[in-house]
Structure 1
Amino acid sequence: MMRNLRRAVRRTYRRTVDLSHPARSPLGSSVVNCVGYSDGVRQAGGCPADEALRRVRKENKAAPGSNSFVWLGLHEPTQDEFASIAELFGLHPLTIEDAVNPHHRAKVVPYDDMLLAVFRTVSYTKHDQLTTTSEVAETGEIKVITGRDFVITIRYGRHGSLGPLREALEALPDQLAKGPSSVLHAVADFVVDEYVAVADAVQDDIDAVELAVFAEYAGRGEKGRGEAGRIYQLKRELLQFKRAMTPLNRPLEALATQPATVIAPEIRPYFRDVADHLARAVEQINGFDSLLDSILQAHLAQMTVAQNEDMRKITAWAAIVAVPTMVCGVYGMNFDHMPELRWAYGYPVVLGVMAVACLVIYRGFRRNGWL
């Protein structure tokens, strides 16, 4: 069932879903969608959050075994807007501060008979070519407040829309019938799947940098130079990626192993599957980091070898030039008692000696690979 959910999300992720009705919402423009579900089936007709909550609670009271709940979707609510929502749903006061302030670490916090989960989302930024200023991973946040008869999702950032996820879940009423915790699991699974997708995309960038480092540069027989900036930029983006995903390990383990009043027992094992996917993604990113360290070291070693070759060439030419410089320096002293100064063949002989000496030294350096 979880595999079917992932496939449905992937099929619908790139579709544009507009389910918001901010003008009709008494809770402000941050409301993206508000839908009631009765035993996994979406209730017909849209209605404000207060009316949907009242209807759901009436159904649960009439049928104690019912799993009707309200799913309220928000996007970057203000503190005043969320204060109204907190009052309507009876949220714990501490959830207001956590919900309206972004840039939290991934965590799971229980509040009485509700649960706050914070997920850091990551989106791959497409680019034609990786440069020293390219942004590879863009981060955002999704916060999920889960109660007995409601689930509130709060999204921060330009990516991570939950519209496709909602459609995929509605196609699986048996999963939604398990209550609000099924939405919490679906969001966690969605976020971790995005981690895996971003990691696969980053692999292409690393392969491109690795190829550039070990390939000949510009066809001149020189190794790729100027790659250190790109490697460093990629390592910085990977660090941002790791900061988003690594802290999620413990919260997922807690959801999979520790009982919670708002987590259905049949949903808890699914969090263990999500935790396994996250562990593999973290291992992959750690492997990328180690690989980039190796590529950087190889690049620096190549630069050192290239510099040594340049220094050998400079030294060889300096040695060749030193021979005529020395001879000319001797004959430029202009002493009176220098017998060679009066010799008729002195000039061509000295030029010949200098040429032969330079040629011998050049051939020696050439044979030894210095030139």
Structure 2
Amino acid sequence: MSMIRDLRTVVRRSSDTSVAPKRHSCVVDCAVYRDGARVPGEFHYDSAIREVRDSGEGFVWIGLFEPTEAELAGIAERFELHPLAVEDAVHAHQRPKLERYDDMLFVVFKTVRYVEPPQLTATSEVVESGEIMVFLGQDFVITVRHGEHGDLRSLRRRLEGEPELLAYGPSAVLYAVADRAVDDYLEVTGRLQDDIDEVENAVFSPRRATDPERLYQLKREVMELKRAVAPLARPLRTLAERPIRLVHPDIREYFRDVDDHLARVAEDVQNFDELLTSIVQANLAQITVAQNEDMRKISAWVAIVAVPTMVFGIYGMNFEYMPELKWRFGYPLVLAITFTICLLMHRGFRKNGWL
């Protein structure tokens, strides 16, 4: 258990999400690790895997950033990566998953980052997503990153500072990537919780100054987070519970720890989804009530105005024989009766809450 705490400390300290500068090559780093320590020197991927296989010890860790099909072709051929997995790694936009191809595992993680938009618009994003694909072999691990966040160089440096952890082999890197992704989920859910609390207070405040666009934006971003979290549960459970030849037996305990954290994130996301649905419904109900109140006021005033309109319309027909047409007090009497009826109607509507 102390080893788990050490490894989790390393992964948490590596949560620096600074954006890495663009490189002319898709290869961010390529290194050979033996007994948990980085072998000194610069390596091409071909010389790196040759070094490992000639000595029969250690593994290669290659980090790639948004490789093209041509850039990945040479690596795929040298490491005998499955064509379907290579295609997924190039084109990205994959659901989180775990696939087994002969002597290789292919794992996809969705990465997320909370972004505070400078200005709220219909297309602004709160949760920005990316992807990390991991090719795991007996003596190599290849990480492919898509998106401007989720840089793994800080994670690599931290792991290199703990050689006893890297001594577990490529599966230790897979665990570290998984734990890093789930820790980012936890951070994003914490920020979303603050936003949802703010919106909830605004909806149920007396002034009801809620922006519906903000509500639907949060609903959309929670769904984006849900698409990253929900499909990952099954792959992590497989890594935590089932013996897999390419995964060190001791690492399975670490994956159970990550699975527990993911379950907590999934529960939070589900609660967010349900809460936002309730908030949207409450907001719509408030809008409906406000519209009904406005319609009642309009209807009341229309009914009041209808009285003089009817009376004056009748007397405006200019027939010769009409009630009190020739009487001196006929005109003021009609006005007085009309005004009295309007006043009584206004009083009745006020008493019933229509005005």
Same fold (TM over 0.5): yes
CA gap of 1:272–1:11, structure 2 versus 1, over 3 A, is: closer
Q: Is the 8 A contact 1:9 1:164 kept in 2?
A: no
CA distance in 2, matches of 1:16, 1:46: 24
CA distance in 2, matches of 1:250, 1:54: 35
1:277 to 250, 261, 274: 261
Identity %: 57
Amino acid of the residue matched to residue 269 of structure 1? E
- For 2:180, the equivalent position in structure 1 comes to 190
CA distance in 2, matches of 1:297, 1:324: 42
CA distance in 2, matches of 1:168, 1:87: 30
- For 1:100, the equivalent position in structure 2 comes to 90
Deviations 1:115-167 (CA, angstroms, capped at 9, x unpaired): 11111222222225654332122221111111121111111111111112112
What value does the CA root-mean-square deviation take over the aligned residues?
A: 2.3
- For 1:256, the equivalent position in structure 2 comes to 240
CA distance in 1, matches of 2:112, 2:12: 16
- For 1:344, the equivalent position in structure 2 comes to 328
1:170 matched to 2:160? The reply is yes
In structure 1, list runs of 5 or more residues that go unmatched. Answer: 24-28, 61-65, 218-222
User: What SS does the corresponding residue of 1:340 show, helix, strand or coil?
Assistant: coil
CA gap of 1:247–1:237, structure 2 versus 1, over 3 A, is: same
CA gap of 1:207–1:274, structure 2 versus 1, over 3 A, is: same
- For 1:133, the equivalent position in structure 2 comes to 123
CA distance in 2, matches of 1:302, 1:238: 23
Q: Is the 8 A contact 1:17 1:163 kept in 2?
A: no
- For 1:26, the equivalent position in structure 2 comes to none
Q: Is the 8 A contact 1:69 1:179 kept in 2?
A: yes
2:99 to 75, 100, 109: 109
User: What SS does the corresponding residue of 1:341 show, helix, strand or coil?
Assistant: coil
CA gap of 1:246–1:15, structure 2 versus 1, over 3 A, is: closer
2:280 to 296, 301, 305: 296
1:87 matched to 2:83? The reply is no
CA distance in 2, matches of 1:134, 1:268: 39
CA distance in 1, matches of 2:78, 2:322: 111
- For 1:305, the equivalent position in structure 2 comes to 289
Q: Is the 8 A contact 1:38 1:69 kept in 2?
A: yes
Q: Is the 8 A contact 1:114 1:147 kept in 2?
A: yes
1:13 to 12, 15, 20: 15
Shift in Å, 1:280: 1.4
In structure 2, list runs of 5 or more residues that go unmatched. Answer: none
2:201 to 179, 203, 211: 211
Q: Is the 8 A contact 2:166 2:173 kept in 1?
A: yes
Deviations 1:166-218 (CA, angstroms, capped at 9, x unpaired): 1221222111111110001111111111111111222222223223322344x
User: What SS does the corresponding residue of 1:13 show, helix, strand or coil?
Assistant: coil
CA distance in 2, matches of 1:43, 1:19: 25
- For 2:220, the equivalent position in structure 1 comes to 236
Q: Is the 8 A contact 1:127 1:134 kept in 2?
A: yes
Query: Which shifted more, 150-159 or 322-331?
Result: 322-331
- For 2:43, the equivalent position in structure 1 comes to 47
Shift in Å, 1:329: 2.4
CA distance in 2, matches of 1:364, 1:321: 14
CA distance in 2, matches of 1:18, 1:130: 27
1:314 to 298, 301, 304: 298
CA distance in 1, matches of 2:253, 2:13: 25
Q: Is the 8 A contact 1:116 1:146 kept in 2?
A: yes
Q: Is the 8 A contact 1:121 1:191 kept in 2?
A: yes
Shift in Å, 1:106: 1.4
CA distance in 2, matches of 1:293, 1:268: 37
CA distance in 1, matches of 2:192, 2:100: 35
CA distance in 1, matches of 2:289, 2:200: 18
CA gap of 1:231–1:160, structure 2 versus 1, over 3 A, is: same
CA gap of 1:308–1:15, structure 2 versus 1, over 3 A, is: closer
CA gap of 1:320–1:32, structure 2 versus 1, over 3 A, is: same
Count, aligned residues: 353
Q: Is the 8 A contact 2:17 2:150 kept in 1?
A: no
User: What SS does the corresponding residue of 2:245 show, helix, strand or coil?
Assistant: coil
